[in-house]
Chains A and B, each alone.
Chain A
Amino acid sequence: MNLEASHLGCERGGRTLFSDLSVSLRGGELLRVAGPNGSGKTSLLRILCGLLSPTTGAVRWGGTEIRRLREEYSKQLVYIGHAAAVKDDLTAAENLRIACTLGGLRVSPRQIQQALDSFELADLPVKRLSQGQRRRAVLARLVVSDSLPLWLLDEPYAALDAAAGRLVEELIDGHVARGGAVVFTTHQDTRVRASRVIDLDA
């Protein structure tokens, strides 16, 4: 598996966030995108997962442009963005099950329960959970996503306490060790050493 971004340029609201950015990623690699707020980290991640079209350049997966691949490409990745991406009125378990079905993953109720347990989440409607718990409910998806080669995570450590943060680090580590690729953005210091770093501040 092979993600290749060539000569990406991004313009938002009249500002050029970055231009002529090229990066390629293979299995077993961990890419960290660094940069201050507003430098385009989220935009880059969204371009890589196909939600946003770059102003110039293209992203290719296995040689084919992701624009042409559409669902074929989406099937192979999990994207966790800033937003909670859970329905407040449903429980964490229900949300996770839906996310898996939409992502084409077959998971048993036991696996879902395991995922939630590892993040210590109760089976309550999400609106009754705290901010940190909500974040954990979203990240629980990573536990069942080991079959997806590409993980794109926007600020995965935000709003997490130390224990949950360590768990996420382990999950990322494990995924990379298994041959998956992870791209993540973060402000915080992390013990996970990235194979590569893109600094959008430069």
Chain B
Amino acid sequence: MTAQSVKWFWYASPQTFYPVAGVIARWCGAAAAVLCAAGLYIGLFVAPTDAQQGEAYRIIFIHVPAAWMSMFIYVVMAFWAAIGLAFNTRLSHMMASALAPTGALFTFIALWTGSFWGKPTWGTWWVWDARLKSELILLFLYLGFMALQAAIDDRRRAERAGALLAIVGVVNVPIIYYSVQWWNTLHQGASVSLTRAPSMAATMLTGMLVMALAFWMYSIAVTLLRVRCLILENR
């Protein structure tokens, strides 16, 4: 075993990770607050008014980053699940379990804001309809993961079963996404162009990226706090 690998497994012990998690959580929480304020400022005041949608479109500054995070978190969750199954480390499983509620939250936010705003008449945003349906299925995947872990009393079986489910899910997410997207083209008409990326003003993109970063920091903070709770519960 190299010095590198020894170092990783040192942090894999819940006891050593506990204080580290606390420190990281505090910094990320602060960063999240700052970035969120910046992002909202850009989104609400700096970005120009859209020609067709007026002010109402600004909800994408929450919708799009939330959607990105929902998918990103699922992949990260599946990653920790795979590590947990491969190396049999409890902390990895705890990370996966801790990520799920946050992922579900972002999926829900994306769905909610999306349905407020995803008007099919806004030509350049067609692709988001397929995404909304995929988001709904993603929400069920998260809820399924959480329900499965909640239904099993034996801690070890619960972690490993959830991990397997997360991995099976992550393999399916692209398949689900593309099949829903295909379904959308069939039912909404062939006149929609999905290959042309919608053009966005640079400030809109910046705003969304800043918000995405803010959500990311928030996710890290909240997840690490949850992991700390799990560590205490399972001592």
Give residues in A with beta carbon < 8 Å to B.
Answer: 12-13
Nearest CB of A to B78, in Å: 22
Interface residues of B in 145-163 (CB under 8 A from A): 153-154
Contacts of A13 in B (CB 8 A): 153-154
Contacts of A12 in B (CB 8 A): 154
- Which 3 pairs across A and B sit closest by C-beta, in order of nearness? A13-B154, A13-B153, A12-B154
Number of B residues near A (Cβ < 8 Å) is 2
Give residues in B with beta carbon < 8 Å to A.
Answer: 153-154
Identify the closest chain A residue to B160 (Cβ).
A53
Nearest CB of B to A57, in Å: 13
Nearest CB of B to A55, in Å: 9
Nearest CB of B to A43, in Å: 13
Bound Cα distance A12, B154 (Å): 8
Identify the closest chain A residue to B88 (Cβ).
A53
Contacts of B154 in A (CB 8 A): 12-13
Nearest CB of A to B88, in Å: 9
Bound Cα distance A33, B172 (Å): 46
Bound Cα distance A13, B154 (Å): 6
Nearest CB of A to B164, in Å: 15
A and B contact pairs by CB, cutoff 8 A, 3 listed: A12-B154, A13-B153, A13-B154
Identify the closest chain A residue to B154 (Cβ).
A13
Identify the closest chain A residue to B153 (Cβ).
A13
Identify the closest chain B residue to A13 (Cβ).
B154
Identify the closest chain B residue to A11 (Cβ).
B156
Bound Cα distance A13, B152 (Å): 12
Contacts of B153 in A (CB 8 A): 13
Nearest CB of A to B155, in Å: 8
Nearest CB of B to A68, in Å: 14
Bound Cα distance A43, B153 (Å): 18
Nearest CB of A to B193, in Å: 52
Bound Cα distance A13, B158 (Å): 12
Bound Cα distance A143, B230 (Å): 51
Bound Cα distance A13, B156 (Å): 10
Nearest CB of B to A9, in Å: 13
Nearest CB of B to A178, in Å: 38
Nearest CB of B to A177, in Å: 40
Bound Cα distance A12, B153 (Å): 11
Nearest CB of A to B27, in Å: 35
Identify the closest chain B residue to A55 (Cβ).
B156
Bound Cα distance A38, B153 (Å): 18
Nearest CB of B to A98, in Å: 28
Nearest CB of B to A201, in Å: 24
